Each structure stands twice: as C-alpha cells, then as structure tokens.
Amino acid sequence: MQEQLELLKKLQEVDLGIKEINQKIEEYPRRIAELEENLSQKKAACEQRRKTLVELEMDRRKKESNLRLEEERLKQWEARLKEIKNNRDYQALLREIAAAKRDNSLMEEEILKELEEIDAIEKELEQREPEYRNLEEEFNITNSKLKDRFAQEEKELGERTQIRGKLARDIDTDLLKRYDLIRRQRAGFALVPARDSACQGCHMDLPPQVFNEVRKNKEIIHCPNCQRIMYWEGS
Ligand SMILES: [Zn+2]
C-alpha cells in the first residue's frame, strides 16, 4: 500500500479512538450532575421535614405554656368563686369558668394532635435520614471512581493526541486537510474500503476504471459520490 494511504489508515484508527474517548469524557460531568441532583433532592426533602418538626415542636411548647397559664387562671377563678356572695356574680363567674374549661380541653386536643404528628415525623426521619446518609456515602464512592476514570481517559487522550501529532507530521498537508474535512462531514470515517466494485462508505457502484485504480492501492482515490478516500484491503 502506498505510504500516505497507509498513514491515513493509521491516523483514522487513532482519530476514531480519540473520538470515542472524547464521548466518554463528555459523559462524566453529566453523570455526576445527575447523581448530585438526586442527592440534593433527597437532602432537601429531609431538611423540609426536619424544619416542619422543629416548627411543630415550638408550637406545641407555646401551646403547653399557654395552657398552664390558663389552668392557673382557672384555679384563681375557682378560689374566687368561694368568696362571692352575690348570686348573679357567682353565676357569671361559673359560666366563665365553664367556657375556660372548654377552651382548655380544646387546646389539650390540639396539643395531642401535634404530639401525634411530631411522633410520625420523627419515625419518618429515623428512616429517611439514614437512607440519605447511605446515599451520600454511595455518591462519594461513585463520584471518586468516576473522577479516577475521567483522569485515566484524559491521560489516554493526551497519549493518543501525541501519536496523532506524530503520524500527521508525515502526511502531506493538503491531503491531511482533505482527510480532516471529510472526516468531519462523515462522522469520523474519511477512509473506507472498496469492495465488490462499490464504495463501502456510501455503497454506490464504482466505475470499473476507478475500482481498478483503487485495487492497486497506489493513489489517493476519492469516491465520486461521497468523496471518501478508498482503499483496497483484499488480495
Ligand atoms: Zn462513497
């Protein structure tokens, strides 16, 4: 095979490898971002429940201290009841005491409901928070593995880019430009074999004369249809 053609074939192999590595390298930030997103959603959900728990706890304490004050007041009223001689005043205070007792028992019910809710959220968090911590641990491991692989791919890319540079130096400048142009237009494949009288890039039949020239592997011959450079790999 003609030397330039041979070099182009090697170059294409290296370029396809570089392309593959580049695709992998582009994947990493996307995968890491996906994992991070999942983790931060779980974290936010836990934090939201934790916040609700703190608020409920604060509200419960406030209600309990109000209730204690009200109960204290009730005791004072009940003590005063014994000192009242006037029947109308006595009845009025009695009604007030009854109303206050109703209010207090309502408040007790509310406190009980809050206690139940607090209990439920605490149980929920007992499950969710360790789940989150496990996920975070898994994320850290996966993340560091991905970063290691990323560094490995980067290293590999550097090495292959060097090899490409060396190969490219020996290729005729115009030919290299044409090769690069076709490569970009044809998804990385600028060089294709010709087989059964057809270009294996676009599968168009080649004029017999062109095919015969390709079989010699002596010249750089482009497919008249897709412009790819053709070579012969048969015997
Ligand atoms: Zn073609």
Enumerate the domain spans of the chain. Answer: 21-171, 178-231
Question: Who surrounds ion ligand 1 at CB < 5 A?
Answer: 199, 201-202, 223, 225-226
Rounded CA-CA distance 100/82 in Å is 18
CA of 84 to the centre of ligand 1 (A): 113
Whose tokens are 């494949």? That residue is 189
CA of 216 to the centre of ligand 1 (A): 18
Residue 126's pLDDT is 97
pLDDT at 234: 75
- Residue 63: both structure tokens together: 């209600």
Give me the phi and psi of 204, to 5 degrees please. -85, 145
Expressed in angstroms and rounded, the spacing between residue 96 Cα and the centre of ligand 1 is 100
Q: Ligand 1 centroid vs 64 CA: distance in angstroms?
A: 85
Query: In the chain, which stretches have pLDDT less than 70?
Result: 235
Residue 204 DSSP class: P
So what's the pLDDT on residue 235? 61
For the stretch 51-78, what's the b/e string if a residue is b when 16 or more beta carbons lie within 10 angstroms of its beta carbon?
Answer: eebeebeeebeeeeeebeeeeeebeeee
Q: How far is the centre of ligand 1, averaged over its atoms, from the C-alpha of 54 (Å)? A: 71
- 21-171: CATH topology is Helix Hairpins (1.10.287)
- What percent of the chain has pLDDT above 70? 99
What residue spans of the chain are helical by DSSP H?
A: 3-83, 87-169, 173-185, 208-216
* Ligand 1 centre distance from Cα of residue 4 (Å): 20
Please give the distance, rounded to the nearest whole angstrom, from the Cα atom of residue 5 to the centre of ligand 1.
17
Q: What digits encode the pLDDT tens for the residues 211-225? A: 999 999 999 999 999
